[in-house]
Amino acid sequence: MIRQFQALSKKEFYESAATFRLYILLAVFLLFGMLSPLIAKATPDLLAAIDTGMVIEMPEPTALDSWTQFFKNVAQMGMIILVILYSGIMSNEFSKGTLVNLLTKGLSRSVVILAKFVAASIVWLASYLICLGTCWAYTIYFWGSVEISNAFLTFAAPWLFGEILIALLMLGGTIFSNVYGSLFTCFAAVVVLNAISLIPKASRYNPASLAGGTLALIAGAGEPSQFIPAMVVGAVLAAGLVVATIEVFKRKRV
Protein backbone atom coordinates (compact mmCIF):
# COMPACT_ATOMS: atom_id res chain seq x y z
CA MET A 1 0.00 0.00 0.00
CA ILE A 2 2.65 2.50 1.07
CA ARG A 3 4.87 1.67 -1.89
CA GLN A 4 1.94 1.92 -4.29
CA PHE A 5 1.09 5.27 -2.79
CA GLN A 6 4.65 6.57 -3.13
CA ALA A 7 4.98 5.39 -6.70
CA LEU A 8 1.67 6.85 -7.74
CA SER A 9 2.15 10.23 -6.10
CA LYS A 10 5.58 10.43 -7.72
CA LYS A 11 3.89 9.75 -11.05
CA GLU A 12 1.44 12.57 -10.32
CA PHE A 13 4.28 15.02 -9.70
CA TYR A 14 6.03 14.02 -12.90
CA GLU A 15 2.77 14.41 -14.74
CA SER A 16 2.13 17.92 -13.44
CA ALA A 17 5.67 18.87 -14.42
CA ALA A 18 5.36 17.31 -17.88
CA THR A 19 2.06 19.05 -18.59
CA PHE A 20 3.51 22.37 -17.34
CA ARG A 21 0.72 22.52 -14.78
CA LEU A 22 3.21 22.80 -11.93
CA TYR A 23 5.20 25.65 -13.49
CA ILE A 24 2.13 27.61 -14.55
CA LEU A 25 0.61 27.38 -11.10
CA LEU A 26 3.85 28.43 -9.41
CA ALA A 27 4.46 31.30 -11.84
CA VAL A 28 0.91 32.61 -11.62
CA PHE A 29 0.84 32.53 -7.84
CA LEU A 30 4.28 34.14 -7.65
CA LEU A 31 2.87 36.91 -9.84
CA PHE A 32 -0.20 37.29 -7.63
CA GLY A 33 2.09 37.57 -4.63
CA MET A 34 3.92 40.45 -6.31
CA LEU A 35 0.89 42.10 -7.90
CA SER A 36 -1.09 42.42 -4.68
CA PRO A 37 1.26 44.88 -2.94
CA LEU A 38 2.05 46.52 -6.27
CA ILE A 39 -1.60 47.29 -7.01
CA ALA A 40 -2.11 48.57 -3.48
CA LYS A 41 0.97 50.78 -3.75
CA ALA A 42 0.40 52.04 -7.28
CA THR A 43 -3.33 52.81 -7.27
CA PRO A 44 -2.99 56.44 -6.01
CA ASP A 45 -0.13 57.12 -8.45
CA LEU A 46 -2.11 55.61 -11.31
CA LEU A 47 -5.15 57.71 -10.53
CA ALA A 48 -2.97 60.80 -10.26
CA ALA A 49 -1.37 60.03 -13.60
CA ILE A 50 -4.73 59.95 -15.34
CA ASP A 51 -5.58 63.61 -15.53
CA THR A 52 -9.34 63.63 -15.55
CA GLY A 53 -9.75 67.13 -14.26
CA MET A 54 -11.35 65.67 -11.19
CA VAL A 55 -9.54 65.75 -7.91
CA ILE A 56 -9.71 62.31 -6.39
CA GLU A 57 -8.59 62.23 -2.84
CA MET A 58 -6.90 58.92 -2.14
CA PRO A 59 -5.75 57.99 1.32
CA GLU A 60 -2.15 56.83 1.57
CA PRO A 61 -2.14 53.06 0.86
CA THR A 62 -1.47 50.86 3.86
CA ALA A 63 -0.35 47.30 4.42
CA LEU A 64 -3.99 46.41 4.87
CA ASP A 65 -4.72 47.41 1.25
CA SER A 66 -1.99 45.04 0.16
CA TRP A 67 -3.56 42.16 2.09
CA THR A 68 -6.99 43.04 0.73
CA GLN A 69 -5.58 42.70 -2.78
CA PHE A 70 -3.95 39.41 -1.80
CA PHE A 71 -7.23 37.90 -0.66
CA LYS A 72 -9.06 39.23 -3.69
CA ASN A 73 -6.52 37.81 -6.13
CA VAL A 74 -6.14 34.44 -4.45
CA ALA A 75 -9.82 33.95 -3.71
CA GLN A 76 -10.98 34.88 -7.20
CA MET A 77 -8.42 34.55 -9.97
CA GLY A 78 -6.20 32.13 -8.08
CA MET A 79 -9.01 29.68 -7.36
CA ILE A 80 -10.27 29.90 -10.95
CA ILE A 81 -6.82 29.05 -12.28
CA LEU A 82 -6.45 26.21 -9.78
CA VAL A 83 -9.79 24.76 -10.85
CA ILE A 84 -9.07 25.05 -14.59
CA LEU A 85 -5.61 23.52 -14.26
CA TYR A 86 -6.86 20.60 -12.20
CA SER A 87 -10.13 20.07 -14.08
CA GLY A 88 -8.65 17.10 -15.96
CA ILE A 89 -7.28 15.38 -12.86
CA MET A 90 -9.60 12.38 -13.16
CA SER A 91 -11.06 12.65 -16.66
CA ASN A 92 -7.65 12.51 -18.39
CA GLU A 93 -7.08 9.09 -16.85
CA PHE A 94 -10.47 7.85 -18.04
CA SER A 95 -10.27 9.27 -21.55
CA LYS A 96 -6.76 7.92 -22.13
CA GLY A 97 -7.38 4.67 -20.30
CA THR A 98 -4.07 5.02 -18.47
CA LEU A 99 -5.40 3.49 -15.28
CA VAL A 100 -6.72 0.27 -16.82
CA ASN A 101 -3.39 -1.56 -16.84
CA LEU A 102 -2.47 -0.50 -13.34
CA LEU A 103 -5.84 -1.46 -11.89
CA THR A 104 -5.90 -4.89 -13.53
CA LYS A 105 -2.43 -5.53 -12.11
CA GLY A 106 -3.88 -5.07 -8.65
CA LEU A 107 -3.33 -1.41 -7.81
CA SER A 108 -5.72 -0.45 -5.03
CA ARG A 109 -8.41 1.97 -6.13
CA SER A 110 -8.39 3.99 -2.92
CA VAL A 111 -4.64 4.49 -3.31
CA VAL A 112 -5.23 6.03 -6.74
CA ILE A 113 -7.59 8.65 -5.34
CA LEU A 114 -5.54 9.35 -2.24
CA ALA A 115 -2.29 9.74 -4.18
CA LYS A 116 -3.92 12.10 -6.65
CA PHE A 117 -5.46 14.18 -3.91
CA VAL A 118 -2.28 14.38 -1.85
CA ALA A 119 -0.11 15.25 -4.85
CA ALA A 120 -2.52 17.99 -5.95
CA SER A 121 -2.70 19.30 -2.37
CA ILE A 122 1.07 19.54 -2.10
CA VAL A 123 1.32 21.47 -5.37
CA TRP A 124 -1.48 23.78 -4.26
CA LEU A 125 0.17 24.28 -0.85
CA ALA A 126 3.51 25.10 -2.47
CA SER A 127 1.94 27.64 -4.85
CA TYR A 128 -0.05 29.19 -2.04
CA LEU A 129 2.98 29.48 0.23
CA ILE A 130 5.01 31.10 -2.56
CA CYS A 131 2.22 33.62 -3.14
CA LEU A 132 1.89 34.31 0.57
CA GLY A 133 5.66 34.59 1.09
CA THR A 134 6.14 37.00 -1.81
CA CYS A 135 3.23 39.17 -0.74
CA TRP A 136 4.47 39.16 2.85
CA ALA A 137 8.01 40.12 1.84
CA TYR A 138 6.91 43.00 -0.38
CA THR A 139 4.43 44.24 2.19
CA ILE A 140 7.15 44.37 4.83
CA TYR A 141 9.51 46.03 2.33
CA PHE A 142 7.05 48.83 1.63
CA TRP A 143 5.23 49.30 4.88
CA GLY A 144 7.60 47.90 7.48
CA SER A 145 6.76 44.95 9.68
CA VAL A 146 3.09 44.69 10.47
CA GLU A 147 1.58 42.81 13.31
CA ILE A 148 -0.89 40.28 11.94
CA SER A 149 -3.14 38.77 14.51
CA ASN A 150 -4.26 35.17 14.02
CA ALA A 151 -2.00 34.85 10.98
CA PHE A 152 -2.24 31.07 10.81
CA LEU A 153 -6.02 30.94 10.88
CA THR A 154 -6.34 33.83 8.45
CA PHE A 155 -4.07 32.36 5.83
CA ALA A 156 -4.98 28.70 6.30
CA ALA A 157 -8.61 29.43 5.38
CA PRO A 158 -8.17 30.15 1.63
CA TRP A 159 -5.87 27.14 1.36
CA LEU A 160 -8.52 24.92 2.92
CA PHE A 161 -11.09 26.23 0.46
CA GLY A 162 -8.74 25.27 -2.38
CA GLU A 163 -8.57 21.76 -0.93
CA ILE A 164 -12.37 21.55 -1.03
CA LEU A 165 -12.29 22.63 -4.68
CA ILE A 166 -9.72 19.94 -5.56
CA ALA A 167 -11.83 17.29 -3.82
CA LEU A 168 -14.93 18.51 -5.69
CA LEU A 169 -13.09 18.33 -9.02
CA MET A 170 -12.07 14.74 -8.29
CA LEU A 171 -15.57 13.72 -7.25
CA GLY A 172 -17.13 15.34 -10.33
CA GLY A 173 -14.50 13.85 -12.62
CA THR A 174 -15.04 10.38 -11.17
CA ILE A 175 -18.82 10.54 -11.48
CA PHE A 176 -19.05 12.04 -14.96
CA SER A 177 -15.68 10.89 -16.43
CA ASN A 178 -15.10 14.19 -18.22
CA VAL A 179 -13.70 17.66 -17.71
CA TYR A 180 -17.10 19.34 -17.90
CA GLY A 181 -18.42 17.10 -15.13
CA SER A 182 -15.55 18.21 -12.91
CA LEU A 183 -16.05 21.87 -13.68
CA PHE A 184 -19.82 21.65 -13.34
CA THR A 185 -19.67 19.90 -9.96
CA CYS A 186 -17.22 22.48 -8.69
CA PHE A 187 -19.24 25.41 -10.00
CA ALA A 188 -22.54 24.04 -8.70
CA ALA A 189 -21.08 23.42 -5.26
CA VAL A 190 -19.68 26.96 -5.05
CA VAL A 191 -23.05 28.37 -6.10
CA VAL A 192 -24.82 26.28 -3.46
CA LEU A 193 -22.33 27.30 -0.76
CA ASN A 194 -22.74 30.96 -1.65
CA ALA A 195 -26.50 30.58 -1.61
CA ILE A 196 -26.30 29.09 1.89
CA SER A 197 -24.35 32.11 3.07
CA LEU A 198 -27.43 34.23 2.41
CA ILE A 199 -28.96 32.63 5.49
CA PRO A 200 -27.41 34.63 8.34
CA LYS A 201 -27.41 31.81 10.89
CA ALA A 202 -25.80 29.31 8.54
CA SER A 203 -23.06 31.60 7.30
CA ARG A 204 -21.04 30.97 10.44
CA TYR A 205 -20.67 27.31 9.46
CA ASN A 206 -20.31 27.93 5.76
CA PRO A 207 -16.96 27.02 4.16
CA ALA A 208 -17.63 29.64 1.46
CA SER A 209 -16.58 32.28 3.95
CA LEU A 210 -13.11 30.69 4.03
CA ALA A 211 -12.17 31.93 0.57
CA GLY A 212 -11.85 35.59 1.44
CA GLY A 213 -13.79 36.12 4.62
CA THR A 214 -10.90 35.87 7.06
CA LEU A 215 -9.59 39.18 5.76
CA ALA A 216 -11.68 40.76 8.50
CA LEU A 217 -9.34 39.19 11.05
CA ILE A 218 -6.31 41.11 9.74
CA ALA A 219 -8.23 44.34 9.87
CA GLY A 220 -8.81 43.64 13.53
CA ALA A 221 -12.52 43.22 13.09
CA GLY A 222 -14.13 39.93 13.87
CA GLU A 223 -13.21 37.20 16.27
CA PRO A 224 -11.12 34.17 15.31
CA SER A 225 -13.74 31.97 16.95
CA GLN A 226 -16.15 33.25 14.31
CA PHE A 227 -14.31 31.30 11.63
CA ILE A 228 -13.46 28.11 13.49
CA PRO A 229 -16.83 26.42 12.84
CA ALA A 230 -16.45 27.13 9.11
CA MET A 231 -12.89 25.74 9.20
CA VAL A 232 -14.04 22.54 10.91
CA VAL A 233 -16.96 22.13 8.50
CA GLY A 234 -14.59 22.81 5.59
CA ALA A 235 -12.06 20.21 6.73
CA VAL A 236 -14.79 17.61 7.30
CA LEU A 237 -16.31 18.44 3.92
CA ALA A 238 -12.98 18.01 2.10
CA ALA A 239 -12.33 14.68 3.85
CA GLY A 240 -15.90 13.54 3.17
CA LEU A 241 -15.59 14.40 -0.51
CA VAL A 242 -12.38 12.37 -0.81
CA VAL A 243 -14.04 9.39 0.87
CA ALA A 244 -17.06 9.78 -1.43
CA THR A 245 -14.75 9.89 -4.45
CA ILE A 246 -13.07 6.65 -3.33
CA GLU A 247 -16.45 4.96 -2.91
CA VAL A 248 -17.68 6.11 -6.32
CA PHE A 249 -14.42 5.08 -7.95
CA LYS A 250 -14.59 1.60 -6.42
CA ARG A 251 -17.96 1.02 -8.08
CA LYS A 252 -16.94 2.47 -11.41
CA ARG A 253 -16.03 0.59 -14.57
CA VAL A 254 -12.83 2.06 -15.91
Partner 1 sequence: MEELFKYIPFLIPIAVIQLALLASAVVHILRHNSFRFGNRLMWLIICVAVNIIGPVLYFVIGKGDD
Q: In the complex, what is the shortest distance from the CB of residue 84 to partner 1, in angstroms, rounded to a whole number?
A: 6
85 vs 190 by CB, closer to partner 1:
85
Q: Which amino acid type is present at position 241?
A: L
- Does residue 116 bind partner 1 (CB under 8 A)? no
Burial label for 55, CB within 10 Å (0-12, 13-18, 19+), is: exposed
Helices (H), the chain: 2-18, 21-49, 63-73, 79-85, 91-96, 98-104, 109-143, 151-176, 179-196, 215-218, 228-250
- Does residue 133 bind partner 1 (CB under 8 A)? no
CA atoms within 13 A on the CB side of 10: 6
d(CA 10, CA 8): 5
39 vs 115 by CB, closer to partner 1:
39
- Does residue 125 bind partner 1 (CB under 8 A)? no
- Does residue 24 bind partner 1 (CB under 8 A)? yes
- Does residue 235 bind partner 1 (CB under 8 A)? no
Give Rg (Cα) of the chain: 20
Chain centroid to CA 93: how far? 22
Among 6, 17, 42, 232, binds partner 1 (CB under 8 A): 42
20 vs 220 by CB, closer to partner 1:
20
21 vs 72 by CB, closer to partner 1:
21
Phi, psi of 86 (to 5 degrees): -100, 10
Closest CA to 132 of 106, 108, 162: 162
- Does residue 138 bind partner 1 (CB under 8 A)? yes
178 vs 214 by CB, closer to partner 1:
178
Among 5, 15, 31, 177, binds partner 1 (CB under 8 A): 31
Residue range at the interface with partner 1 (CB under 8 A); choices 25-33, 115-123, 195-203, 231-239:
25-33
Residues in touch with partner 1 (CB under 8 A): 19-21, 23-24, 27-28, 30-31, 34-35, 37-38, 41-42, 45, 81, 84-85, 96, 138, 141
